[in-house]
Amino acid sequence: MPVYVDVSRCIGCRSCEVACKRVHSGRSYMEVKVIDSRASVPVTCHHCEEATCTMACFSQALSKDGERTAFDIHKCTGCGLCALACPFGVVLTDKWAHKCDLCKGLEIPMCVVTCPAQALSLDPDAASKRARTRAAATVALAQGVKR
């Protein structure tokens, strides 16, 4: 159950970061990256099906729990191998590792609930449909320009 991002909808308001901080006692597991002041991209754990962070974690602090990549701080040794193994750079380490837990205990993660632009979603079909529609519009525009 990863959170899907529609970059074209993100307005860079950082409401998702604030909501994440509120749920996690002042620590946000999501960050909105601004790219050349042209686009804002919310970045968080993808809860990968084949999560390399879990494979790198010899203490088994990271493990798959259904679709969620779970983290148990009591097992974490702070070695940082999970952060090195994450292809998206979203497993963070200071003294211990920490990452998005999809607001464990809540039905819908607060970042998704809070986003005023509806840039965050749990629905892969809707996210895929929006991406295909955008791609088709881009191709149509490019073909129109070539004429």
CATH number at residue 140: 3.30.70.20
User: What is the reported pTM?
Assistant: 0.78
Q: Number of structural domains, the chain?
A: 1
Question: What would the pLDDT profile of 26-82 be if each residue is shown by its tens digit?
Answer: 988 888 999 888 888 898 898 998 999 999 999 999 999 888 899 898 999 989 899
**CA torsion sign, 36 to 37 to 40 to 44?**
positive
How many Å is the Cα radius of gyration of the chain?
17
Q: Which domain holds residue 51?
A: 4-146
Strand partners, 32: 42
pLDDT band, very low/low/confident/very high, at 145 (cuts 50, 70, 90) = low
